[in-house]
Amino acid sequence: MYTKEMWELSKKVEATRSKRLGIQFPRMSPEEKLEVLNENHPDYSDTGFMFLKHGVNKGDRVPCELGELLDGKSTTLDKEIDLNKVAHDVDVLIIGGGGAGAAAALEAHAKGAKVLLVTKLRFGDANTIMAEGGIQAADKEDDSPAQHYLDVLGGGHYKNVPELAEALVKDAPSAIKWLNELGVLFDKDKEGNMLTNHGGGTSRKRMHSAADYSGAEIMRVLRDEVRNKGIEILEFSPAQELILDSEGKIGGAIIQDLETERRHVIKAKTVILTTGGAGRLHYQGFPTSNHYGATADGLILGYRVGAKLIFADTIQYHPTGVAYPSQIFGALVTEKVRGLGATPLNIDGEQFVYHLETRDVEASAIIRECNVRGKGILCPTGGSGVWLDTPLIDIIHGEGTLESKLPGMLRMYMKFDLDMRKNPILVYPTLHYQNGGLLIDEMGQTKIPNLYVAGECAGGIHGTNRLMGNSLLDIIVFGRRSGKHAGENSKNIELKDLTLNHVEKFNKELEENKINSEVISPMILPTYKHGSKD
């Protein structure tokens, strides 16, 4: 519920509405975009980053919180692990239980491989299930993968690895078809045609959705399918370290059972890392839309065996996180809200940015409005935000639209006696996604033989800024590609003796570089202790 003062301020939104209706706010020129990014986006700040002193990315810039974990120590240095005592021996080990892991598991299984999926929380507890707005695919007549490709590159500041962006857009129509046939209930018209929307930076309406719980719907189906196929799953079993064999090929992983705290050796001919993002590291003090387990585990595990990071210093701050009420501070307000026409407004009820700029530009404009121009609305619990004029949705598309297209959003705000259909909501950027990650090729392979990465912990696909709906897409495209390739590849692999020598070598390199950290990594679970910065 708003305070009296906030209700008063919200009247300005109503007062300016008729004047704003039907008028499109101008998009920024390339020069204006560069300026707002340089001066406001957290990625462009001089603070909040450090330079790595060791490993394959020595000299590269990473967020401090990630750097501290990359500088951290492995729990396996105690040498108490007997690598000959193998708990599971599989062809394909998948580490991570979100959409990419599930898609990879299904495809590897279809190749006849023995698959094990381990995940640190429950299967499905991942950013996939929290994704709301949709998944992109150019499968309509007025669209094409080539058009999608141009949007992906434009959004990514032309830094994308071209082959990865190409694979993403080319596989997109078949990814939707696959999901649809598996049973995902996409939004359709009466004739059964898929309904699609715009997202920020898209030149065509190609966002396929399931109301505003698209990720949950996709995860529901994938999780069922993995279980139906009888694929083995170990829950509450985070990976602590990757194992190599004496030839330097991937050989498996050490996992820990969170309940018994016992460690187990998993021997595997191929490993696919699908551990997701890093929002729970709260870079630069930002709140996050991410799930509890998003602590960059895959980046730490991959880096220790020598896999290269790309664009690890580019983070996505979703323009519209909840600024108020504080109980849901940082939660996602899906871009679909703006896709349906809601516009951001300042304290005077004036629009200050086109509502569908790419995410980095949109977020920067909101940060500028609040922190530089002083035109944000102060929240009684701290910080500030801008209005999102959500009543516009029903005004533009007709009564009942918001309720039918954004039921989750409506319910979330109703819990706090705020009706988005009648009242604007307050938003501010929230840490949403890591644009970069471990560098892969078109089949999801890293340079470490038989180590694959898919989903949010992979890097290069989106350049330095991902567009809405291309994450649900990449988990399917690269999950499937890596699962197929690993499943097939595993038939020709013979593992030699397993070893953790690389961990000792890595530790030695830390010591040589005078890095003497007490931090243990991967982090596994974030702490939210009283007095901590998060």
- Can you tell me which of 60, 65, 91, 132 binds ligand MEZ, judged by CB under 6 A? 132
With CA atoms as reference, report the closest residue to 513 among 50, 54, 49. Answer: 54
Considering the rule CB under 6 A, would residue 287 count as an interface residue with ligand MEZ?
Answer: no
Shortest reach from residue 362's CB to ligand MEZ, in Å: 11
- In this structure, which amino acid lies at residue 60? D
Alpha helices in 431-527 (DSSP H): 470-489, 501-512
- Can you tell me which of 124, 344, 469, 487 binds ligand MEZ, judged by CB under 6 A? 469
Do the Cβ atoms of 133 and 511 come closer than 8 Å? no
- Can you tell me which of 12, 33, 198, 336 binds ligand MEZ, judged by CB under 6 A? 336
Considering the rule CB under 6 A, would residue 340 count as an interface residue with ligand MEZ?
Answer: no
- What is the full DSSP assignment across 389-410? -THHHHHHH-TTHHHHH-HHHH
Cβ closest to ligand MEZ, residue 74 vs residue 202: 202
Q: Which of residues 173-192 bind ligand MEZ (CB under 6 A)?
A: none
With CA atoms as reference, report the closest residue to 233 among 121, 126, 117. Answer: 117
- Can you tell me which of 55, 134, 385, 424 binds ligand MEZ, judged by CB under 6 A? 134
Considering the rule CB under 6 A, would residue 344 count as an interface residue with ligand MEZ?
Answer: no
Q: Locate 36 and state its tokens.
A: 């707002």
With CA atoms as reference, report the closest residue to 302 among 281, 271, 341, 329. Answer: 271
In angstroms, the CA 392 to CA 480 distance is 39
In the DSSP assignment, the letter for residue 110 is H
For ligand MEZ, the nearest residue by Cβ is: 133
Q: Which of 338, 355, 485, 502 is catalytic?
A: 338
Which one of 247-255, 334-342, 456-464, 494-502 is the stretch in contact with ligand MEZ (CB under 6 A)?
Answer: 334-342
Q: In Å, how far are 68, 260, 279, 283, 522 from 302, measured between CA atoms?
A: 15, 25, 18, 20, 11
Which one of 91-99, 141-149, 466-474, 493-501 is the stretch in contact with ligand MEZ (CB under 6 A)?
Answer: 466-474
**H or E stretch at 64:** helix 64-70
Q: C-alpha angle 420/425/430, rounded to 5°?
A: 125
Considering the rule CB under 6 A, would residue 131 count as an interface residue with ligand MEZ?
Answer: yes
- Can you tell me which of 471, 482, 490, 521 binds ligand MEZ, judged by CB under 6 A? 471
Q: Which of 41, 318, 462, 480 is catalytic?
A: 318
Shortest reach from residue 282's CB to ligand MEZ, in Å: 18
What is the per-residue burial (b if ≥16 Cβ within 10 Å, else e) of 489-523?
Answer: bbeebebeebbbebbeebbeebeeeebeeeeebbb
What is the per-residue burial (b if ≥16 Cβ within 10 Å, else e) of 337-362?
Answer: bbbbbbbbbbbebbbbbbbbbbbbbb
- Can you tell me which of 288, 314, 334, 490 binds ligand MEZ, judged by CB under 6 A? 334
338 is catalytic: yes
Considering the rule CB under 6 A, would residue 468 count as an interface residue with ligand MEZ?
Answer: yes
Considering the rule CB under 6 A, would residue 435 count as an interface residue with ligand MEZ?
Answer: no
Cβ closest to ligand MEZ, residue 356 vs residue 523: 356
Which one of 231-239, 330-338, 385-393, 403-411 is the stretch in contact with ligand MEZ (CB under 6 A)?
Answer: 330-338
Do the Cβ atoms of 437 and 312 come closer than 8 Å? yes
Question: Kind of pairing, strands 86-95 and 315-324?
Answer: unpaired
Considering the rule CB under 6 A, would residue 335 count as an interface residue with ligand MEZ?
Answer: yes
Shortest reach from residue 296's CB to ligand MEZ, in Å: 18
Tokens 């989750």, residue? 408
Considering the rule CB under 6 A, would residue 202 count as an interface residue with ligand MEZ?
Answer: no
Cβ closest to ligand MEZ, residue 102 vs residue 115: 102
- Can you tell me which of 63, 133, 173, 424 binds ligand MEZ, judged by CB under 6 A? 133
> Footprint of ligand MEZ on this chain (CB under 6 A)?
131-134, 332, 334-336, 468-469, 471
Residues serving a catalytic function are 318, 338
